[in-house]
Structure 1
Amino acid sequence: MKSNQTLSFLPLVKHFLLFLIIFPIIISTEAQNNIPRPEHPRPQFMRDTWINLNGQWNFAFDFGKSGIERGWFSDPSEFDMKINVPFCPESSLSGIEYKDFMPAVWYHRTLEIPPTWQDGKIFIHFGAVDFDCRVWVNGEQAGRHYGGNVSFEFDITELLQEGINDLVVLAEDDVRNLEQPAGKQSQTYYNSGCCKYTRTTGIWQTVWLEARPEKHLKRVRIIPDLDNGLFILTPEISGFSNDMELTTTITNPQGSLVKSATTNVTDGVPFEIKLDNPQPWSPENPYLYTIQFSLKSDGIEDVVSSFAGLRKIHIEGNKVYLNNKPIFQRLVLDQGYYPDGILTAPTDEALKKDIELSMAAGFNGARLHEKVFEERFHYWADQLGYLTWGELPDWGTSFNIPQAFLNIQNEWREEILRDMNHPSIIAWTPTNETAGRARRNPEVHARWLSSLYDQTKNLDPTRPVNDASGYTHIKTDLFTIHDYDQNLQTFYDRYKELDPEHPEKAFIGYPGQAPELSIPYKGQPYIVDEYGGTFWLPEYAGESEKGNGRSEWGYGKTGEQVEDLVDELTQVLLNNPNIAGFTYTQLTDVMQEVNGVYTFDRKEKFNTEKLKEIFGAPAAIEK
């Protein structure tokens, strides 16, 4: 009897042991799913060996910027608050929601490295930290990065110890020093007013750990060559040796093998992979190839997942061509702000939804305005066939401060290198509305814009460059104009004589916006890349312009007139055979600026089907 009882318990013991094995995995998976923004932040260059560090961190203000003197990098015991990373402390999602100036903020959490990561290298990644970021691991500095809008990483392998590790982050930020690209962040105590909005301080994008072999891929530049049906690949390798082989495996969207090739690679030397039956990427058919890179050396393999689209963007005369066909760019101004996350989308789904809302209103893309959008946004744009212009948030910098130009140049370079493989990005715009700065110092302004244009072309000669969106150009592939005129007749008259054969007749800017400091129009693609901006909120219908003295900001008409006015203004641009595109201002209201197609919380303000007919109507330049 005793023996039988023992046997009867064996299945229970087996189930219990299985539970002990599986339960930690379930807990780990649930913990990963419960943290904010749990998805991989870099789907175009992704390894399986990664850990998301978002969630609750210890946090402290450092108003006197004395934390380093007090040794906080090695003793974070005074961090008496909690913050929800990756949301900035100004946001409600952070759990802090402090909106006054914060010259320095500190973060702390612990790390435990998986046993399987003991070999090779371990990197910590930051999606973005505004502005001057220093990182310590176990009291030793891992690195320092300047730039509030771009991604960076540090190798922390040698600083780690067995068991628990302390990670401390310091972010110093001063949007009033005129040295750092601040974009639309307010530089006044009143943290949101006119067309400036609530600031973003500290960590505001995902933080994650990644394990790599000692010898690994740093990046792979992917240049699509549509005419020849191939990709040109340039690997950058850490720890390069002559025995390295790179296997590139390309599959189609259905998962079927397209091409697999193994080559002996050299760091920084490009090679080609020709595709069988090449399929182009386009807004109508956003065809993406999945790519897996496998770098082998000394029996060690580094495997990275990526994707790419085969598409071509070029200029002939005054037209922009996509895949060798003229395209009219029906763009919307997207500033990428959210009521609860400010510059950080609350979820990955929110990023995708913004694109879907834009497309539902008839736009085929967006001018991403005064913000470096996160890589997940570009991923969804690639997936959905949504055209974008990449832009640096250059506002907040003075052309008279050399350090400002260094900061601009460094961040712009990092943005281009990070995002240049995305097929949805079809133009670069390093600056926006520089007229005021041009007037203060025309010579320095001209040197800035010329240098940024050259830098952009050196990094990426495959895309057109708009040196300065609106008003004042120095060296540019696209000639862009901002025009918020709400009078249909004067709006029409301004462009009726536009003709690349007679460029002297082109409107190049308002008298107050320094057109005399701009180069003349030379027959480039002419794009009105800001117009509309028409004020309206349902609760203010029938009231006078700009909210009847309220703090809300916008241009022009009241609710009853908006749809008809937008239609008429848009038809002027669509029907002009010498205009190559527009950017309507804007996708959503942003705080006090209530001139969006949708409200700040992404609700409809207009008849979306009617808007789709307006913005999506045929354009003369495409015929």
Structure 2
Amino acid sequence: MVANNLMMRQEFPDPQFERKNWMNLNGSWDFSFDFGKSGETRRFFERKSWKQKINVPFCPESELSGVHYLDFMSSVWYHRCFSINADQLKEKVFIHFGAINYRAQIWVNGEKCGDHLGGYSSFSLDITTFVKAGENDIHIWAINEPRSGRQPCGKQSRTYASEGTAYSRVTGIWQTVWIEFVPEDYVKSVKFTPNISAQSVGIEVATVGTCSHLDCEIFYQGRLCGERVIDISGTTAVFEVSLDELHLWEVGHGRLYDVHLKLGQDEIYSYFGMREVSLSGERFLMNGRPIFQRLVLDQGYYPEGLYTAATEQELSRDIELSLACGFNGARLHQKAFEPRFLYHCDRLGYIVWAEQASWGLDYSSPAALEHFLPEWLEIMNRDINHPAIIGWCPLNETSPYRGRSPRPELTRFVYQITKQFDVTRPCIDVSGFVHTERTDVYDTHDYAADPQTFAKHYQKLDQRVLYDPQIAREINVCDLPVFVSEYGGIPWNVGSQGWGYGNQPESKELFIKLFRDLMVPLLNNPGIIGFCYTQLYDIEQEKNGLFTFSRQPKFDLQLIRQVCNQHAAYEESLEANKDE
């Protein structure tokens, strides 16, 4: 059982689109299983008496939820009351959901007011006409069927227990639920496009209502450095703001500009970073300069909360642990991370590749696009302003589904849509296994445990040829940048139930030696733009992290850092060519 007064995760969920007038609905909710998915027929949306409680925003599989039920739950129900007053009702009332896995249907005061498909994207509903002054009821029905082949579900296990590379499932609400009170004229969305050469930022604002004036102020460390007053015609304003001061967002330096938008009575607080990424042949550039990506695989799992960190400090802690190891970023793997985590990446200058939780989807079915693309577009739309995100990776290791091969046209179409949606970032079509003919970066997953074998895979990169172990043949990568986006996974403390890639070294000293011997060929190869080591911390049975699942270091971090911080030939060679 969960105490009625328990509330965790009280911070505002999305620092890039923040209003001051909001109400956090995290805490104790009524809860019920609905294994037969019959709750709607039984009119659970009118139910007043409940036997069980759950602590939102933690999924019922997690310890922090107070439920901790580990078997499959085809559907679950939530209920709670909330009160609003007459003054709040003078404005529009929106309810926001950070994420509900996978299909959600919402009732307010017994009336159905909306639904949503997608377990990783955020959504909101205008419930103004459904609420009243005083006490209100909200009911949520969440359906999660990770074995159906009809939903992207990432690393959630499709068997009873966690096994191999699949971990505990996450059903229902797993991010913050909150209410906002918004004027009739309001800002619907904002998009920032930095222009470093012009020392300005392009801004696109979507609005609702009849207000025709938008005020925009931009600050750097409290100093006003740009402002515009815009006359709005219609519901979209597109404009440029010149900046008095130019401070580049760079690796290790999260120099953020604060933004204040005012449309009538509506005020939005946001931020952006002056950062550009680009490709030039086999080069990957940030702000016109080559960067070597020293990344680590981060899967966003927590021992007590599973997908959900217990506190905001746990979110930033994982970034700080990675930085302590000498990594400068992460590949956010098989999960769309919450905006609050991305905020800390932005703040700390921590670069990331953003990915959708694509596993579990039947890629052979034409209906796969219907289940994948809308949610992926919602995720990109929500996260597009984060300077920390330097690339998109919609799909990962599209293996055959129950013996049926993936449809290559699906991969091509998802890649093309991603590129059209965001022209400012590169996109990897499919990370690992088979790329289509359309991709911006050639990445490979290479878990060869022998350093000599591993190094041979890349010894012909001066001829633009590599051996890809996933397809067991040499590939001409032409002028594409080459990124070793998964490797290592060296096991440590595996025990009888754990595993890693290859055999466990006999001592910590031999672990560090193998860690170095696998990394040095990548650092010394001028044809490689970066690596992603598997992985930052253990997850359940997978014991190949540099930290335990509870984030205790397994090794001397100074030794790990010394290896990671060695100079990269890629950066040195390109700087030398630039000087010539």
Same-fold call, TM > 0.5? yes
Within 5 A, what are the aligned runs for 1:346-495? 346-436=310-400, 440-441=404-405, 444=407, 446-474=408-436, 475-495=438-458
Structure holding more strand per residue: 2
Provide the secondary structure at the position in 1 that maps to 2:485: strand
Within 5 A, what are the aligned runs for 1:522-601? 522-537=478-493, 547=495, 550-560=497-507, 561-601=510-550
User: 1:439 Cα shift?
Assistant: 7.9
Residue pair 1:498, 1:507 contacting (<8 A) in 2 also: no
Partner of 2:85: 114
User: 1:551 Cα shift?
Assistant: 4.1
Residues 455 and 76 (structure 1), Cα distance of their counterparts in 2 relative to 1, 3 Å cut: farther
In 2: Cα distance, 1:458 partner to 1:465 partner? 11
Deviation string, structure 1 residues 485-535 (Cα, Å, up to 9, x no partner): 110111111101113xx33x32234346xx69xx85232110100000000
Residue pair 1:179, 1:401 contacting (<8 A) in 2 also: no
Residues 393 and 559 (structure 1), Cα distance of their counterparts in 2 relative to 1, 3 Å cut: farther
In 2: Cα distance, 1:364 partner to 1:377 partner? 15
- Equivalent pairs, count: 565
In 2: Cα distance, 1:304 partner to 1:223 partner? 18
User: 1:74 Cα shift?
Assistant: 1.6
In 1: Cα distance, 2:27 partner to 2:268 partner? 26
In 1: Cα distance, 2:323 partner to 2:274 partner? 22
Residue pair 1:194, 1:553 contacting (<8 A) in 2 also: no
| Percent sequence identity over aligned pairs | 43
Within 5 A, what are the aligned runs for 1:235-384? 235-239=205-209, 241=210, 243-253=211-221, 255-266=222-233, 267-296=235-264, 301-384=265-348
Residues 180 and 520 (structure 1), Cα distance of their counterparts in 2 relative to 1, 3 Å cut: farther
In 2: Cα distance, 1:482 partner to 1:109 partner? 46
In 1: Cα distance, 2:260 partner to 2:405 partner? 49
Partner of 2:40: 68
Deviation string, structure 1 residues 142-162 (Cα, Å, up to 9, x no partner): 100000111000000000112
What is the one-letter code of the residue matched to 2:487?
Y
User: 1:619 Cα shift?
Assistant: 0.3
Structure holding more helix per residue: 1
Provide the secondary structure at the position in 1 that maps to 2:296: strand
Give the alignment partner of residue 47 of structure 1, picking from 11, 19, 37.
19
Deviation string, structure 1 residues 450-473 (Cα, Å, up to 9, x no partner): 111111111111000011111211
Partner of 1:26: none
Residue pair 1:553, 1:592 contacting (<8 A) in 2 also: no
Q: Unaligned stretches of 5+ in structure 1? A: 1-30, 541-546
TM-score by length of 1: 0.88
Within 5 A, what are the aligned runs for 1:110-149? 110-149=81-120
Provide the secondary structure at the position in 2 that maps to 1:622: helix
User: 1:286 Cα shift?
Assistant: 1.4
User: 1:559 Cα shift?
Assistant: 4.8
Within 5 A, what are the aligned runs for 1:127-276? 127-190=98-161, 192-239=162-209, 241=210, 243-253=211-221, 255-266=222-233, 267-276=235-244
Give the alignment partner of residue 506 of structure 1, picking from 466, 474, 480.
466
In 2: Cα distance, 1:156 partner to 1:534 partner? 51
RMSD: 1.7
Residues 439 and 524 (structure 1), Cα distance of their counterparts in 2 relative to 1, 3 Å cut: farther
Provide the secondary structure at the position in 2 that maps to 1:344: coil
| Runs of 4 or more consecutive aligned structure 1 residues displaced over 6 Å after TM superposition | none
Residue pair 2:492, 2:500 contacting (<8 A) in 1 also: no
User: 1:441 Cα shift?
Assistant: 3.0
Provide the secondary structure at the position in 1 that maps to 2:387: coil
What is the one-letter code of the residue matched to 1:550?
Q
Structure with bigger gyration radius: 1
In 2: Cα distance, 1:97 partner to 1:114 partner? 35
Residue pair 2:92, 2:182 contacting (<8 A) in 1 also: yes
What is the one-letter code of the residue matched to 2:523?
L
TM-score by length of 2: 0.95
What is the one-letter code of the residue matched to 1:621?
Y
Partner of 2:62: 91
In 1: Cα distance, 2:520 partner to 2:176 partner? 42
Deviation string, structure 1 residues 541-597 (Cα, Å, up to 9, x no partner): xxxxxx4x5344443332512111011110000000000000000010000000001
Provide the secondary structure at the position in 2 that maps to 1:563: helix
Partner of 2:578: none
